[in-house]
Amino acid sequence: MKVIKILGTGCSNCSLTEKMVSEVVSENNIEAKVIKVTDIQDIVSYNVLSLPTIVINEEVVLTGKVPNKDDIKKLLNV
């Protein structure tokens, strides 16, 4: 199972990213757990400078933009 973390402080772009990732996971029957990380100290531990950020299995794969569904599918190898 993949663990997908959405790093963000709760802004609209972070919420939209979480929604899009959750939709792609659901629509494609991907075995994954989507976790929203809002704690600033947890976010800082990933050494990212812009949000939203997507982390898959503890690897930062996208930062600083809201991906579309095709972008997310590529990140998840769908």
Catalytic positions, please? Answer: 11, 14
- Rg of the chain over Cα atoms, rounded to whole angstroms, equals 11
CA dihedral 32, 38, 40, 44 (to 10 degrees): 20
**CA-to-CA dists, residue 38 to 17, 49, 69, 77, angstroms:** 13, 14, 22, 26
